[in-house]
A = this chain, B = another copy of it.
Amino acid sequence: MFFEGSEKKLEVVVTLGKGLESLRSLGDEYWSEIVAASQAKILSKMSSASCDAYLLSESSLFVWDDHFTMITCGQTTLVPVVKLFLQSVPLDRVESLIFERKNEYFPHRQTTDFYEDIGHLRQLMPGKAYRFGRAEDHHLFLFHLDRPYSPPKEDVTLEILMYDLQAESARVFSSGQHDSTKICELTSVDKIFSGFQIDDYVFEPCGYSLNALNNEKYYTIHVTPQEASSYVSFETNYDVCQELPQTIQRVIEVFRPGSFDVALFHPERSLPIQVPGFELRSQTSQELKCGYGVTFTHYESPHRPVEGAYEIKEWTSARL
């Protein structure tokens, strides 16, 4: 079964005032329409004093007063979300806009590629676009609004993008085997950090999503356990810079990937990251004009013996 776990992400910061008191007060119906523009839908909502966290049919949306973060996978597309959002909040109210897109397992099945996406975004705003990582290897595309911005000091985002899960780890997240309670018991995904409230969802026939919220801090996990394209993303705005290797290690141990990427957004500097037990294969660092330092690092397990070829038993003769 084909499912694209690799995600696109949109992060937008706005200036409040002039009739816009809070993005949260735009309401569930507004955000449902925003989500629908990406071809996903809202499954559930959890709120803290500072944030509304929506679990989506394809990943997650977090809305704070003055910014939102939308992460979507599958065949969703975020350029229509930008267009729709700018109809209610004009571009001059946007302080920062960052659009990311991870390299995909099944890129041909996407409705657009990144080059098309940024072609459309450039018609809406001035922007700069980058590729972190080599084109023929793991990489992350990034587009940002070309406008000076000074992120708050504590504005750190950590993304851990995991591939090639060990069969045993993948099996835990295949529905029919375990419900949400059992998954949390077996993996402690609900306790990556302490003091967070949890909203999670077990998908049919397989897959798992989790939103975790502690006032303005979140973490979120999305699991695609399918053997042909196994993928897990972990993301948080919890400031983990003091214990970055430990945090990465903790997440890696839950999912046991064969390889993974780390993207770190830091308002001041890009950090070098070493992860015990894995080889750092490549590292890309860039200071962006929109105020963030971004480091993208690709790791592989060093223990990779000669393998047999993977026999493909799925195909389609449908025109995609």
A-to-B contact residues, CB < 8 Å: 2, 103, 105-110, 112-116, 118-120, 122-123, 128-132, 134-138, 141-142, 163-164, 228-229, 231, 258-259, 272, 281-286, 294, 296, 300, 304, 306-320
Contact = CB atoms under 8 A, between A and B. Distances in A.
Contacts of A231: 136
A306 B270 CA distance: 11
A317 B115 CA distance: 8
Closest 9 CB pairs of A and B: A119-B317, A108-B113, A286-B309, A130-B309, A107-B107, A119-B315, A129-B312, A136-B163, A118-B315
B306 A283 contact: yes
A110 B64 CA distance: 40
Contact of A137 (B137, B312, B317): B137
A293 B21 CA distance: 66
A35 to B, nearest CB: 23
Contacts of A132: 309-310
Looking at A122, A135, A136, A228, which has the most chain B CB atoms within 10 Å of its CB?
A136
A74 to B, nearest CB: 15
B259 A135 contact: no
A112 B308 contact: no
A147 to B, nearest CB: 17
A319 B116 contact: yes
A106 B115 CA distance: 10
